[in-house]
Chain A
Amino acid sequence: MSAPTEETLFPTTGEPVATIARRGRVGLWLMIVADVAGTIALLISYTYLWSLNVNGGWAPPGARVPFTESNTGPQKADATWAAEWPFWVILLLVLLSTVAMWWSYKAVKAGFEAAAVTGAVLSTLLMVAALIAQWIQITTFPFGPSDGAYGSAVILLCASNLFHMLLVLFLLIGIVNRTRKGLISQDVNYQSQAVSYYMTWVVVAVLLGALVTTFFVESPNTDPAVFGTFETGAKSAPEAPPSPSATPSSSPSASPSPSAS
């Protein structure tokens, strides 16, 4: 355990490390603002489509009520909702990883550098486990990205988690290496603090994802407008949905729905 020495200076600018640390914290919080906005965009997308249930297409085809069963098209007919528990297991792993990182930061701040390395390594291992779990979840969903808006939204939320985890993993490897080399120490530990803060935000982001995918599953809109059954459309001669050849580069084409044929 080393005692704090005289004011440590940053090698490239000659400024006190405390000044650099303050600057780093401000920058980090601002970067988190941008990240929060992006995550909100995804959550808005999820909840917006969940609330509208456009054309009865929110649920995966296998979980739909009968009036939309025609919209299976290229989708998997047996696709259904995702299990909820994996979201929470992944959250737990990310949370434990973050706790370990905070422990590492507190340890290095108190001068226990060996404990700090242990905490950072533990945090890294837990994040790797979370990353693998997230990957397994994405690849084993009972639906694909085309299987309704729910499928698309859930997969993108998980992809966002995956991106966060990869970023954190990169940071953690750096923290382990730097702590081991003594570059993060009792005097200079703002990088550990910054990573701990960022990981705390990642926990919040994963938590928000787990909450919406657990509690906002079946759409509250049980009587959505369905294409081909609008009153004005029903009076005039309905057109068949676009054929695959008409929109070769668009998203899934449709098979004709009974109401439109």
Chain B
Amino acid sequence: MSTATTTVRGVEQVTQPPQHGKPGGIMRHLNLGTGLLTGIVFAVGAGWIVAALTPSSATTPTFAPAEPEYVYLAGLIGWVIGFMLGMGAFIGPLRWMMGRDLTHDDAEYMAGKDLGVKRYFKFTTDHKVVGVQYLVVTLVIFGFGGTLAMLIRTELGVTWSEVFSPEFYNSLIGTHGIAMIIAMIIAVSGPLGNFIVPMMIGARDMAYPRLNALSLWLLVAAAVCLISSMFVGGMQDGWSAYQPLGSQAPPGMLGYQLTIIVFAISTAIASVNLMTTILTMRAKGMTWSRTPIFVYGIFASSLMGLYAFPFYQYSQILALTDRVWGTVFFNPLYGGSVWLYENLFWLLGHPEVYVIIIPTAAVTLELMPVFLRKPLFSYNFAIAGIVGVVALSGLVWAHHMYMTGWAPAVNYPFMLSTEMISIPVGFLVLVAIGTFWRGTVWTRLPLMAVYALVFNKMIGGVTGIYLSDVPADQYFHGSMFVVAHFHYMLMGAGLFGAMGGIAFYFPKMTGRILDERIGSIGLWTAFVGFQLTFGSMFVAGLQGMPRRVLQFDEQFNISNWISTIGAYIIGLGMLIFLAAIIFSWTSGVRASGNPWGSKSLEWQTAQPVPLENFEVLPVVTERPYNYGVPDPYDEELAAEDGDRVEKVGAS
């Protein structure tokens, strides 16, 4: 054993394991380039081996999938393993198994110390780098899903002819759906959860830095699987991939299934990491009553993802084995049940809405006191709302199955639980409105996004109540009304909230202010387009237009034209907002360490943020959001002799 010691974070004489070669070892040679290279080599190799081993279609039993399916699946699995290998994801576990522990120098190299811009293209463990990587990946997935949305609206807007084939159109619908769901799930928890939460709780990093990088790069590997599916027939039965349609769909379905399986692993790892960080690494004095509301939101979202995602993952594992191995889980002819699939799917499918909404709501509640210069209206009420949503989120899934014929007797209990969940969600809206009340409004770009969010969330929430109602759902089910409703929730509340959060934390993440003028033009352009698109979609739905159709009756033409025009306006707004991000990131106005005058810990760090965030770990002495409240310590310090000042803490 080596007896070398070094100073680590101010602690002297920390014994180090033997240093083998230069710090970082083989990780010095691995990056995104090697990941892509090995991923492609493994994909081609695996596909080639399987093609060589699989009997040709002519000799396989009639029920077996065709040979190209096996080749495609092997290629995808090869890609994921090869990519992660090339990124260096397996080096850590192997080193652990071999008993070659990291030294402090190794860890610093892995965290990207002195690597400059290269650290963004490596398996870097620093939570701030991972946060920025998440932001870029989120934008890319949004761009992909948004482009598909434009194509969908183009098809529906051109009512006089078909632009795409029905198969391709179906594929657009399904891939757009799942791409946007993935993007929205990570939109706040990924960039802001990783970048901000450790600083916000006064920690130097996440609990498991290597798992942090692992979750990010697994997401990248999964995203490639999803995009690849578009080139092999796509997924033509919607993002829910209902069975047995899924088993009969083109090979692209395999890309979707593997995407979900890998994404669920990524999500579980990220959730465990965030939750452990929050539970065990809060600064001294940061009791639960002094913990910022955003931290609660991230914790709640991670918790819901942790228990619910495995059901979704297993629904896809079973569907995959049905398809390629001949199991019969969802084949009623041989004892399987499609209701089993629907239950497993929606056990995640509905909590997932709150996995998206809660962090978004929390980040808006976090920024509101800063721009209204007053404490959050009823902090405890907000926490009660979050806890209530988490408690009820697992009891509402079957409201997606009212019309399937599954267990009609439980429709009404599920109707009740679904309507009940609007109460804790309402708490969060009330806290937002209460915080506005008599606030000193400082309207900046992040607060503008809150205005948009509150408006959209009210509409999305109220229309959701109709859908939770069994008799009303008999009419609305499967119509454009449903599409409009969930877009108001997921995009209207989720995405606009995420835009506010990103605008708020942009200075901390990049060292520059997000251009207010261009950003607000983008935001409001998208908002106007959003109302046109989905407002008229409500009308089409009320008139009876079914969702997921390529052709429809002439009576729906006008609302579809308006929707399509609105969609292009959204696209324009998003491009303007993206331009604001790129322009500001590269040459925007430099920000001070705390440009908004926030009281939270993350804003008290130096700018740019040092590798380990804080030179000395902070101690928290008061509740968050005490804006406009006289600081009793200041009063005590300012008191002159003879003044009578009540001692702080004295009863």
Contacts and interface: CB of A to CB of B under 8 A. Distances in A.
Interface string A138-156: 0000001110111111011
Given A41-B344, A148-B328, A148-B335, A250 B248 contact: yes
B280 interface: yes
A45 interface: yes
Contact of A55 (B208, B271, B311, B332): B332
A80 interface: no
29 contacts: A13-B9, A13-B107, A14-B7, A23-B281, A31-B272, A34-B306, A34-B307, A37-B307, A38-B310, A41-B314, A42-B314, A54-B332, A54-B337, A55-B332, A55-B335, A57-B333, A71-B334, A144-B326, A148-B334, A149-B329, A152-B327, A177-B99, A182-B1, A183-B101, A247-B248, A249-B250, A249-B251, A251-B244, A251-B330
Contacts of A26: 207, 275-276, 279-280
Nearest to B102: A12
A74 interface: yes
Nearest to B244: A250
A145 B328 CA distance: 7
A121 B418 CA distance: 52
A85 interface: no
B614 to A, nearest CB: 13
A102 interface: no
B340 A49 contact: yes
A29 to B, nearest CB: 9
Interface string A212-245: 0000000000000001000000000000010011
Nearest to B337: A54
B62 A27 contact: no
B140 to A, nearest CB: 27
Contact of B99 (A145, A178, A245): A178
A249 B66 contact: yes
Interface residues of A, number: 70
A71 B332 CA distance: 11
B196 interface: no
Contacts of B272: 27, 30-31, 34
A251 B344 CA distance: 19
Contact of A146 (B208, B309, B327): B327
B344 A30 contact: no
Contacts of B14: 9-11, 14
A173 interface: yes
Give the most central of A13, A23, A42, A151: most B CB within 10 Å. Answer: A13
A149 B335 contact: yes
Interface of A: 8-14, 19, 22-23, 26-27, 30-31, 33-35, 37-38, 40-42, 44-45, 48-49, 52-59, 71, 73-75, 144-146, 148-153, 155-156, 170, 173-174, 177-178, 180-183, 227, 241, 244-245, 247-254
B27 to A, nearest CB: 14
A10 B62 CA distance: 59
A30 B247 CA distance: 33
Contacts of B281: 23
Given A11-B15, A73-B333, A74-B62, 10 more contacts: A8-B15, A11-B101, A34-B309, A37-B306, A38-B314, A44-B340, A156-B329, A245-B62, A247-B247, A248-B66
B616 interface: no
Contact of B340 (A45, A178, A180, A254): A45
Closest 9 CB pairs of A and B: A57-B335, A149-B335, A14-B8, A14-B11, A244-B62, A152-B327, A41-B314, A38-B310, A37-B310
Contacts of B344: 41, 44-45
Contact of A34 (B1, B69, B268, B325): B268
Nearest to A39: B310
B248 A49 contact: no
A150 to B, nearest CB: 7
Contacts, number: 225
Given A23-B280, A174-B97, A75 B334 contact: yes
A185 to B, nearest CB: 10
A113 to B, nearest CB: 13
B322 interface: yes
Nearest to A254: B333
B96 A174 contact: yes
B564 interface: no
Nearest to A244: B62
Contacts of B99: 174, 177-178, 180-181, 183
Interface string B299-337: 000000011111101110110011101111111111111
B510 interface: no
B508 interface: no
A27 B275 CA distance: 8
Given A42-B314, A54-B332, A30 B327 contact: no
Interface in B227-271: 244, 247-251, 268, 271
B160 interface: no
B65 interface: yes
B463 interface: no
B62 A251 contact: no
A33 to B, nearest CB: 6
A54 B275 contact: no
A11 B16 contact: yes
B61 interface: yes
B70 to A, nearest CB: 11
Contact of A45 (B17, B306, B329): B329
B63 interface: yes
Contacts of B336: 49, 54, 57, 149, 152, 251
Nearest to B332: A54
A85 B302 CA distance: 40
Given A26-B279, A34-B310, A41-B344, A252 B331 contact: yes
A19 B250 CA distance: 51
Nearest to B250: A249
A41 B307 CA distance: 11
Interface string B152-181: 000000000000000000000000000000
Interface in B506-538: none
Interface in B4-25: 7-11, 14-17
B327 A227 contact: no
Contacts of A180: 99
A253 B63 contact: yes
B419 interface: no
A27 B101 CA distance: 19
Nearest to B205: A13
A253 B279 CA distance: 52
Nearest to A184: B99
B333 A9 contact: no
B98 interface: yes
A156 B318 contact: yes
Contacts of B101: 11, 183
Contact of A149 (B7, B204, B328): B328
Contact of A252 (B63, B98, B317, B321): B63
Nearest to B267: A34
Contacts of B204: 13
Interface in B323-363: 323, 325-337, 340, 343-344, 347
Contacts of B103: 11-12
Contact of B63 (A34, A49, A59, A244): A244
